[in-house]
Structures are given as C-alpha cells and as structure tokens.
C-alpha cells in the first residue's frame, strides 16, 4: 500500500466496520496512512484472491464519450475446491455497485488470473485451466475464444499449455506469462532440469516464441527466472515472479528471499519503462497459493490520463 499511495486510488475490501478498523491499524503500524488515497468498501469475502472473484473492468471510448463497465463472471472456487464460496460469488456485484459502473453478467465461470491481455485485443491463457471440465463441461478452444471475444473484446487468443507446480487453480497464466506492454511478454523459465517446472515452462516458452500479436507481429519474449522451489510443510507453493502487479508509475514484483530475486527485479526494470520496480516479500503470502497479482484487480480511470 505504501508503494501505491499517491499513484492510484486503492480500495481494500473489508467485511465490516471492525475489519476496517483492524486494516487501518495494520496500515498505520507499518508506516502507512489509511486516510490518503485508500478507502474501505464493506464487501465480505470468503477468500483473499480478488483477481479471481472480482469483476474485469472494460472501457468503451467513442464519440458519445468514455464509459467504464464491469464484467461479472461466475465464480465456483476454482472448480469447487473450497466451499463455501457464496460471498466470493457476490464480490464482483458488490464492486460494480461500489464503483458505480454498468454491470454485465456472464453466464460462465472465468477467473481474472486465468487470462492476461495487452489492451489491443490479444489475450494469453492456458489450456489446462480454461478448458478444464470443472469450470463447465464441453469447453473447447473455439467456444472459449468466442466467449473471450464477446465478453472481453478479445480478437486474438494465445494458448499456452499447463501451469506451475503447486498451483491449485489448474494453471493460471498469471504465474507463467504476462504482458508488460502491448508487444512484450515476460515468461517464467526454470533453468535447472531438476526443477519440477522445468519441462512445463520449456514447452510454454517454445510456444510463445512462435506466437504473434493481433496484427501478426512476433511477440518480444523476455525470460523471468523462477525462484527455487518454495515448500511449506513439504508442499510446493506456486512461487513465481510473473505474479507481478503493474500500477501507475510502479510495478510490484513478488520476492521470496532467494538469490534469484535480484535477477528478477533487474529483468523487470529493463522492461517496464519508467515505472519504479518495488519488490514485495511474498514468502508468507504464497502459502495461501497466490501473490500480489492474485490479490488485486485494476480499475481504469473514469477519464483518460
């Protein structure tokens, strides 16, 4: 929050007044000011991962002006894994109402972490998640591409294969490959054959190198190292530097107290333009099987910058 303050308005969803008071106290104790650029909508949740429970915001700019809208997809706790999820299923509605924007209700399951767009019509995703039958029977590439076109304006869909070890989402793309600008993708790569992600990420990297954007231009591919395998009580956690969040003037990048942190931060500084790169310690956070991108969902400004 300290890195975001003064750069963009931040909304922190809390259950009630008591939770808001607790959040304000935590921010103050860590040197932040909860009264500067932060508000606390009362939207109760079952889990923390707003990227997947919240809406995806869209913009239309035309002669009539600029309109923002929230696309609310169905949520089923990543294929019914973590009941109950009734509060999480209502989060996108609460956010749309709080934001005061028009709401569109999709009739199928889609999590925000399962797609990544370049803002020009190209969307990255994975077969292992978007085609998984636990999100809805009978899914195919063609049917999901049609849905992404109709609901998110995607004109070009790029398919990767599987996700990383320890990822309970069935392979969200936000731990694998992310756009850093309209034509550049940062992709996670494991350099040791003993890494449990080595082969999966090698295959995804080879796919990316053959792919083009919506205008037929070959993508620029930048390799992000994977951190050493992160385990808690023997279980692999999905630690990845690709789970970064791009904000106004700053990029928040997960760190894990590993020697690869410095290399990942340096790589990000090379590709995010004039944004400041801030490392956020996620060694504890990733025990919940996500990091800073999973916790967040960007909202476009009501007026162009």
Please give the sequence-ordered ranges of beta strands (E in DSSP) within the chain, or none if there are none: 10-11, 38-39, 56-62, 65-74, 102-109, 115-117, 122-126, 156-160, 177-181, 184-189, 220-225, 230-232, 235-237, 245-247, 250-255, 276-281
Task: Exactly one of 129, 237, 282, 294 is catalytic; name it.
Answer: 294
The rounded radius of gyration (Å) of the Cα atoms in the chain is 19
Give the span between the Cα atoms of 98 and 96, in whole angstroms.
5
Q: Using an 8 Å Cβ cutoff, are 185 and 222 in contact?
A: yes
Is 294 marked active-site?
Answer: yes
Cα–Cα distances in angstroms (integers) from residue 33 to residues 29, 248, 253, in the given order: 9, 19, 22
Q: Using an 8 Å Cβ cutoff, are 15 and 44 in contact?
A: yes
Write the DSSP assignment of 78-137 as a string of letters. HHHTSS--HHHHTHHHHHHHHHT-EEEEEEEE--GGGEEE-SSSEEEEEHHHHT-GGG-T
Give the span between the Cα atoms of 264 and 184, in whole angstroms.
16
Q: Using an 8 Å Cβ cutoff, are 13 and 23 in contact?
A: no
Which residue reads 């992000």 in tokens? Answer: 224
Active site amino acids: 294
């Amino acid at each position: 929050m300290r890195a975001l303050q003064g750069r963009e308005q931040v909304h922190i969803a809390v259950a009630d007044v008591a939770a808001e008071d607790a959040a304000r106290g935590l921010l103050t104790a860590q040197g932040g000011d909860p009264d500067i650029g932060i508000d606390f909508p009362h939207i109760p949740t079952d889990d923390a991962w707003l990227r997947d429970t919240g809406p995806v915001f869209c913009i239309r700019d035309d002669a009539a002006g600029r309109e923002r809208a929230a696309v609310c997809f169905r949520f089923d706790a990543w294929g019914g894994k973590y009941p109950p999820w009734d509060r999480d299923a209502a989060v996108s509605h609460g956010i749309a109402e709080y934001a005061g924007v028009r709401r569109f209700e999709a009739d199928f399951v889609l999590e925000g972490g399962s797609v990544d767009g370049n803002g020009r019509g190209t969307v990255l995703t994975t077969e292992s998640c978007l085609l998984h039958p636990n999100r809805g029977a009978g899914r195919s590439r063609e049917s999901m591409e049609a849905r992404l076109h109709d609901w998110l304006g995607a004109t070009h869909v790029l398919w990767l294969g599987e996700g990383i070890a320890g990822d309970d989402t069935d392979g969200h793309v936000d731990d694998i490959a992310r756009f850093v600008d309209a034509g550049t993708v940062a992709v996670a790569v494991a350099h040791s054959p003993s890494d449990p992600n080595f082969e999966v990420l090698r295959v995804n990297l080879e796919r990316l190198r053959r792919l083009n954007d919506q205008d037929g231009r070959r993508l620029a591919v930048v390799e992000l190292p994977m951190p050493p395998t992160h385990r808690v009580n023997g279980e692999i956690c999905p630690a990845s530097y690709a789970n970064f969040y791009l904000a106004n003037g700053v990029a928040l990048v997960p760190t894990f107290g590993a020697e690869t942190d410095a290399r990942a931060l340096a790589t990000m500084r090379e590709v995010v333009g004039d944004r400041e790169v801030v490392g956020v310690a996620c060694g504890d956070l990733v025990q919940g099987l996500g990091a800073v991108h999973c916790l967040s969902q960007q909202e476009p400004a009501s007026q162009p910058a």
